[in-house]
């Protein structure tokens, strides 16, 4: 199968590349050092449509395909992967769950502001004791008649300190164990009882705001539930496919950027009176890096195309996430090796790519979790 972007998709991808080259790549090291994403950058991304890319046009989104979004996300993550997380999570998890499962009133109230970037979305699913095992979450949402009362703690919340909207999963039926009894809510971070923790000190992806959020007797109006009570787990699993696909394209963006840096350096760096690009050892590394990137990109586009057609694609999204994240880590490791000692220095971008790539095998489902999804799907046949 051959996946080709349309002329419109290619134009969007080129525009995203120009945005990344102008507004992200030159400042990525600064964002990494300061561990922050400037608000004006978020506003600019919103104006360009990158924060409502696949959301319905009826609510101000661009209504574009997952294939087109994948190409754009790859370019953004090549420029600054930390900012790319914000774009990915906001679109593929937060906007999509409101757009797909929310009622018209929720969409009018929240989605219309999310697609412009006025409200950045934060996805609150993971807990200190509930990561891969989503069904074990303990955050509760007690029915109080005209509202729910939420109590609990969410961990590793992307954009937790920047968010204007929190998508919160909580247990509405304490008598139910496992995946039953979990519901999903739209929560505003300014409501009483919401206390964000300090930003986490991370190895990489430092431009992304990541923190714990505590909920203590937070009153959430009944109308702010997404879907029906008890449907949260089903929605979370459905949306995670989009999240994993986003990580796949993010990983490819990091890998492509690392390859570009390695190629450039190998042509400039001279040893034994010639560029190191002339040495077969370097040429073979570059060949393997490029081949794995292309293979990963094709896996990601296949999954995106299936998603656009409305087909079941959990296996394909997990395959893309698994392979692309491993590819990113392989490629950045080789890029650092090609740079030699300089690759270990912060003045070279491959040092940041090396740190950023590591997370792609962990968040939105670990490499091991993807293998579980893939193998179970194969073995059930």
Q: How far apart are CA 340 and CA 348, in angstroms?
A: 11
Q: How far apart are CA 48 and CA 32, in angstroms?
A: 23
Element (H, E) at 338: helix 314-339
Structure tokens at 234: 């089903």
CA distances for 286 relative to 277, 282, 308, 322, angstroms: 9, 6, 33, 21
Structure tokens at 16: 């995203």
Please provide the distance, in angstroms rounded to a whole number, between the alpha carbons at the two ends of the chain.
23
Q: How far apart are CA 91 and CA 55, in angstroms?
A: 8
Q: How far apart are CA 161 and CA 170, in angstroms?
A: 20
* Cα atoms in the 13 Å half-sphere on the side-chain side of 122: 25
Angle at 126 between CA 196 and CA 304, to 5 degrees: 115
Give, as one character, the DSSP assignment of residue 361. Answer: T
| Cβ-contact 60, 116 below 8 angstroms | yes
Write out the catalytic residue numbers. 364
User: What are phi and psi for residue 46, nearest 5 degrees?
Assistant: -65, -40
Q: b vs e for 252-290, b when ≥16 Cβ sit within 10 Å of the residue's Cβ? A: bbbbbbbbebbbebbeeeeeeeeebbeeeebeebbeebb
Q: How far apart are CA 238 and CA 242, in angstroms?
A: 8
Structure tokens at 109: 């109230």
Q: How far apart are CA 3 and CA 112, in angstroms?
A: 32
Give the CA diameter of the chain.
79
Gyration radius of the chain over CA positions = 21
């Amino acid at each position: 199968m051959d996946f080709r972007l349309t002329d419109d998709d290619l134009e969007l991808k080129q525009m995203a590349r120009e945005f990344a080259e102008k507004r992200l790549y030159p400042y990525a090291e600064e964002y990494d050092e300061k561990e922050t994403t400037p608000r004006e950058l978020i506003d600019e991304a919103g104006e360009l449509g990158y924060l409502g890319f696949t959301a319905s046009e009826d609510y101000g989104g661009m209504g574009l395909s997952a294939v087109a979004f994948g190409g754009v996300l790859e370019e953004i993550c090549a420029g600054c992967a930390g900012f790319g997380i914000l774009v990915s999570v906001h679109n593929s998890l937060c906007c999509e769950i409101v757009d797909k499962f929310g009622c018209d009133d929720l969409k009018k109230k929240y989605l219309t502001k999310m697609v412009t970037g006025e409200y950045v979305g934060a996805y609150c699913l993971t807990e200190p004791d509930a990561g891969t095992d989503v069904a074990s979450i303990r955050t509760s949402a007690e029915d109080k008649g005209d509202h729910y009362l939420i109590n609990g703690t969410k961990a590793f919340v992307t954009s937790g300190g920047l968010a204007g909207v929190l998508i919160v999963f909580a247990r509405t039926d304490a008598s139910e164990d496992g995946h039953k009894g979990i519901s999903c809510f739209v929560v505003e971070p300014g409501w009483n009882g919401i206390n964000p923790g300090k930003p986490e000190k991370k190895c990489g992806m430092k431009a992304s705001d990541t923190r714990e959020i505590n909920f203590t007797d937070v009153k959430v109006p009944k109308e702010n539930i997404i879907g029906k009570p008890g449907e949260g787990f089903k929605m979370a699993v459905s949306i995670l496919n989009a999240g994993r696909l986003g990580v796949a394209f993010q990983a490819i963006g990091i890998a492509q950027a690392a390859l570009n840096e390695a190629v450039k350096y190998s042509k400039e760096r001279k040893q034994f009176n010639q560029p190191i690009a002339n040495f077969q050892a370097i040429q073979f590394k570059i060949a393997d890096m490029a081949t794995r990137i292309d293979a990963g990109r094709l896996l990601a586009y296949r999954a995106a195309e299936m998603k656009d057609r409305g087909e079941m694609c959990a296996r394909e999204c997990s395959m893309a996430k698994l392979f692309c994240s491993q590819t990113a880590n392989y490629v950045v490791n080789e890029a650092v090796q090609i740079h030699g000692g300089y690759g270990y220095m912060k003045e070279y971008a491959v040092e940041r790519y090396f740190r950023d790539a590591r997370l792609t095998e962990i968040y939105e489902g670990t490499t091991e979790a993807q293998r579980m999804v893939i193998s179970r799907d194969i073995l059930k046949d």
